[in-house]
Amino acid sequence: MGGSYIADLANQITFLVALAVSLNLLLGFAGQMSMATAAFYGLGAYTCAIMTAQGMTLTGAAVIGPGWPFLGGLASAIVVSFVGGLVVAAPAARRVRGDYLILLTLAFHFLVVTIASSWVGLTGGPNGIVVPPIGFFGYEINTTDQAFWFLLAWAAFVSLVCWWIGRSPFGRLLRGIREDEIAIQALGKRTIAPKSLAFAMTAAMAGATGAISAAYMQFVAPTTYSLDLAILVAACVALGGPGNILGSVVAAIVIGALRPILENVPSLSSDSAVPWQTVIYGSILVAGMVFRPRGLLPEGLIAMRRFPREAISAVPRVVQATLLKTVGERDQPALAKSSVPNPMIASPIVRVRNLSKSFGGLQAVKDVSFDLHPGEIVALIGPNGAGKSTIFNLMTGAIRPDQGEVTLHGQSLAGADPCAVARSGMARYFQHVRILPGLSALNNVAIGVPRQAGENLAMTFLAPMRVARGEAEVRAEALRQLENVGIAPHANRTAQDLAFGQQKLVAFARLLATGAQVLLLDEPTSGVDPQAADQIIALVRTLAQSGKSICIVEHSLHVVSELADRILFMNAGAIMAEGTVEAITTRPDLVDLYFGT
């Protein structure tokens, strides 16, 4: 192939850019580390080579492929690497922790490289395969210079696709999974499919890039697809900033351009340049990790202020309304605090029956039964370790009971996972908040909105207008919920930068965004200042008045007496007493237990 050295260099950089941005989709957005970049790059290259090769191999054997044109080779490379990606990702995606994926992708890398070098009949072994040049519709690219524009267009296309996915609701879902997969499942979102799909998309883009590079170099051989390449690409992502597509582009250009510069430094002859390059790349990476741990261009650097300041009211409207209302109510000697005068008349929305759970020798929950009615606030109180959070874990399917059953709207929840439970209308507020630290407050809440069209990757490309309309509604809803809890002015701030009390309010807004009918609140006011606690009390009361059923675990007797229609007093896994605030707080034995005297 004729053409200039500079053009070839630029072309190699386009491959690095395409690989880096596609890995960023997986590593930066979905938070999944893959060592299989070179393997999928090679898989695509070999697929294209086998499907398009013609005549004889270098060793004189007849080629076994169908001799398709380039576009056929490219299409088959995309299909094979996409399917290969699904096969590799599916078993790993079932696990919440991602370390397993690193091992699995490493094993896959060695599998691909071994097949490429040993299955001589298929791959030509160490000799490789001669590949026809890039060509379509009768037009053939034969020089490095001609190839440049095509390769540049490809790298730009891959970058655009990754950027588009990254900023879509699907991308937000991936980032949510990266931040806290358990929190995402508890909002009623499936996580296995998006994780697998992100992996397969990354694999398909690497595979397609491999196919193009094979036809560009007109040759494939196993040494091209080394682990070094996989690490180099990961270094580009880490250096550029995980979650920032532009950062990967810049880092890939810089690192790609560094190689020939090093090769041309006279004191580093080509042979000695190779280890020196590794040392220099390694040093850059280490320096980057130390001085800019989130990359040169951190995620969200160019976050746009999508909301004009005046659109955001600083006053929590619902809270204000409730405070006014409750001031009025205090004058009346009302017994029941919620809108349903006597909850026992309405049939229960949740039935908990004979729940038991032990952890090893410890019986954390013993034969617990209770009901929850529409519009009712039930407080679950008791000393630390009584088993309150475990009851919520059992009710939401986070852990399986040894015995007993929970029904919601008369349907048994036996065997349902947290996602399914949330989807059927029972959502949970975690004792450990489980905010998504790297996302803005607004996105934290937006992710809670159910049934978003844009969370379907196909829709993101096939129905972009519908997705955009849906997203506008989702953001408006998220903003409404942030206003509800009074922190709309912080909508664009990253959640990890908010004060703890504000983070709890964001988590509360996220819970409300799910629209769930039954809310399980695990210590929503613990650790927040009295003002935020009063805000939460007012909110919970409004929610019950709007007909939601609420079970709240609380330590503060103030909160409990402000809110609860009924108290369940738990100790050592069992419900010891049930009754009104007055009935429970006037029993000296319970008070002693509660305060540990």
- What residues line the site for Mg ion (CB under 5 A)? 389, 431
- Only one of the segments 119-127, 240-248, 357-365, 496-504 lies at the binding site for ligand ADP (rule: CB under 6 A); that segment is 357-365
DSSP 303-361: ----S-GGGS-SS-HHHHHHHHHHHHHHTS--S--SSSS-TTTSPPSEEEEEEEEEETT
* 269, two tokens: 């002859």
| Residue 185: contacted member of ligand ADP, Mg ion, none (CB under 5 to 8 Å, by partner type) | none
Query: Distance from CA of residue 53 to its chain's centroid?
Result: 41
- Only one of the segments 174-182, 359-367, 466-474, 495-503 lies at the binding site for ligand ADP (rule: CB under 6 A); that segment is 359-367
Find out whether 434 and 455 touch, Cβ atoms under 8 Å. Answer: no
**Please, which residue, 75 or 577, has the CB nearer to ligand ADP?**
577
Find out whether 336 and 565 touch, Cβ atoms under 8 Å. Answer: yes
Q: Say whether residue 359 binds ligand ADP (CB under 6 A).
A: yes
- Three-state DSSP class for residue 372: strand
Q: What share of the chain is helix, strand, coil (3-state, %, to 5)?
A: 55, 10, 30
**Please, which residue, 148 or 594, has the CB nearer to ligand ADP?**
594
- Three-state DSSP class for residue 363: strand
Least distance to Mg ion, CB of residue 365, Å: 12
**Please, which residue, 388 or 490, has the CB nearer to ligand ADP?**
388
**Please, which residue, 251 or 380, has the CB nearer to Mg ion?**
380
| Residue 50: contacted member of Mg ion, ligand ADP, none (CB under 5 to 8 Å, by partner type) | none
| Residue 385: contacted member of Mg ion, ligand ADP, none (CB under 5 to 8 Å, by partner type) | ligand ADP
Least distance to ligand ADP, CB of residue 157, Å: 47
**Please, which residue, 282 or 385, has the CB nearer to ligand ADP?**
385
Q: Which of residues 120-179 bind ligand ADP (CB under 6 A)?
A: none
- Three-state DSSP class for residue 405: strand
Q: Say whether residue 384 binds ligand ADP (CB under 6 A).
A: yes
Least distance to ligand ADP, CB of residue 582, Å: 23
| Residue 127: contacted member of Mg ion, ligand ADP, none (CB under 5 to 8 Å, by partner type) | none
Number of residues that bind ligand ADP (CB under 6 A): 10
**Please, which residue, 561 or 571, has the CB nearer to ligand ADP?**
571
| Residue 211: contacted member of Mg ion, ligand ADP, none (CB under 5 to 8 Å, by partner type) | none
Q: Say whether residue 527 binds ligand ADP (CB under 6 A).
A: no
Least distance to Mg ion, CB of residue 559, Å: 15
Q: Which residues contact 212 (CB under 8 A, 6 or more apart)?
A: 15, 48, 74, 134, 151, 154
Tell me the C-alpha distance between 293 and 286, whole Å: 9
* 543, two tokens: 């929610």
Least distance to ligand ADP, CB of residue 181, Å: 17
Q: How many CB atoms lie within 10 A of CB 127?
A: 16
Q: How many CB atoms lie within 10 A of CB 175?
A: 23
Among 49, 147, 364, 442, binds ligand ADP (CB under 6 A): 364
* 290, two tokens: 């130390």
Least distance to ligand ADP, CB of residue 386, Å: 4
Residue tagged 């489980």 (tokens):
434
| Residue 390: contacted member of ligand ADP, Mg ion, none (CB under 5 to 8 Å, by partner type) | ligand ADP
Least distance to ligand ADP, CB of residue 364, Å: 3
- Three-state DSSP class for residue 295: coil
Q: Indicate the DSSP class of residue 61.
A: P
- Only one of the segments 77-85, 279-287, 378-386, 451-459 lies at the binding site for ligand ADP (rule: CB under 6 A); that segment is 378-386
Among 387, 438, 454, 470, binds ligand ADP (CB under 6 A): 387
**Please, which residue, 354 or 496, has the CB nearer to ligand ADP?**
354
| Residue 597: contacted member of Mg ion, ligand ADP, none (CB under 5 to 8 Å, by partner type) | none
- Only one of the segments 382-390, 471-479, 539-547, 560-568 lies at the binding site for ligand ADP (rule: CB under 6 A); that segment is 382-390
**Please, which residue, 326 or 431, has the CB nearer to Mg ion?**
431
**Please, which residue, 366 or 493, has the CB nearer to ligand ADP?**
366
CA distances from 448 to 452, 506, 507 (A): 10, 11, 9
Among 12, 196, 390, 542, binds ligand ADP (CB under 6 A): 390
Least distance to ligand ADP, CB of residue 404, Å: 15
Least distance to ligand ADP, CB of residue 478, Å: 29
- Only one of the segments 10-18, 151-159, 385-393, 443-451 lies at the binding site for ligand ADP (rule: CB under 6 A); that segment is 385-393
Tell me whether strands 403-408 and 350-359 are parallel, antiparallel or unpaired.
antiparallel
Tell me the C-alpha distance between 83 and 122, whole Å: 20
Tell me the C-alpha distance between 163 and 147, whole Å: 24
Tell me the C-alpha distance between 51 and 450, whole Å: 44
- b/e string for 266-297 if b means 16 or more Cβ within 10 A? eebeeeebeeebeebbeebbeebeeeeebbbb
Q: Say whether residue 385 binds ligand ADP (CB under 6 A).
A: yes
Task: Give the H/E segment covering residue 55.
Answer: none
| Residue 364: contacted member of Mg ion, ligand ADP, none (CB under 5 to 8 Å, by partner type) | ligand ADP
CA distances from 350 to 171, 376, 542 (A): 35, 11, 20
- For residue 362, the cross-strand partners are 359
Tell me the C-alpha distance between 55 and 67, whole Å: 9
Least distance to ligand ADP, CB of residue 488, Å: 32
Q: Which of residues 238-297 bind ligand ADP (CB under 6 A)?
A: none
| Residue 386: contacted member of Mg ion, ligand ADP, none (CB under 5 to 8 Å, by partner type) | ligand ADP
Residues at the site binding ligand ADP, with contacts judged by CB under 6 A: 359, 362, 364, 384-390
